[in-house]
Structure 1
Amino acid sequence: MTDSPEITDLTAPRDGLVPVIDRLQPMLAWCEAAAAAPDEPVSVDAERASSYRYSSRAYLVQLRTEAAGTALVDPLAFPMPGSLITLLNSREWVLHAAGQDLPSLAQLGLHPGSLFDTELAARLLGMERVGLGA
């Protein structure tokens, strides 16, 4: 018998599958929706191909707010719009292992207004496992 809560595997995204944003107009629409809730933090994650390429460049940026939902952004498809940069740079970001993603996000002109790192929080709480699957 254990006091640990039962772990539920997530087999599908809460909002269903969302398309990759590879055009400016859908990105601007996401920005407008996110701007409607200015106090919400933004969950941010960057996917890199560092095992295949010799750079820390982001090849996919994942963003989420409750107001705007999830955005999967192809940062190579179009320059990051000023409205996205302004919005993100003024918000609190929630990341896991922020030190891994911040350099590639900075290359896109993205810098958090403030930061909550879930990995660091888990370490400060003394948790034995601090990975995303913990």
Structure 2
Amino acid sequence: MIQGLDDAHAVVLATGDAMQLDRDQRIVEHVIPMKRIVIEIVDPREADPRSNSVSDPIAGGPAISPEHLISIFDRLLVKCWVTADEHDRLNRTGRSFQWDAPDGDGWSRYRQAGVTAYQLTTDGDLLHD
């Protein structure tokens, strides 16, 4: 079920370097890691204490119905195209960042890894400021 929900969401962000690659060379990265989304759906108190100062829900979890599960998933899922090097850096940022979103902040590991993502237009081009 989770894979189907994930597949239904388009990639909405990308790094500049990822956009220079062919589409099949880009890596789809979840800004809030999938593990953290599942934890929120099942039991937010199980969030990794190494990167969470509180165990409060970040999106109203745990899910109490299929509709609530989908609303949590839709609220937290953000996909970004990155390069292989950027993906490696994001997963080496420390603590448990590759598995969690510290206190619900999925962008913290992007900042720490020095990875900048930009919004994509509806045509799939980068939308720069």
Tell me the TM-score normalised to structure 1 length: 0.23
Tell me the TM-score normalised to structure 2 length: 0.23
Between structure 1 and structure 2, the one with the greater Rg is 1
Which structure: greater strand fraction? 1
Which structure: greater helix fraction? 2
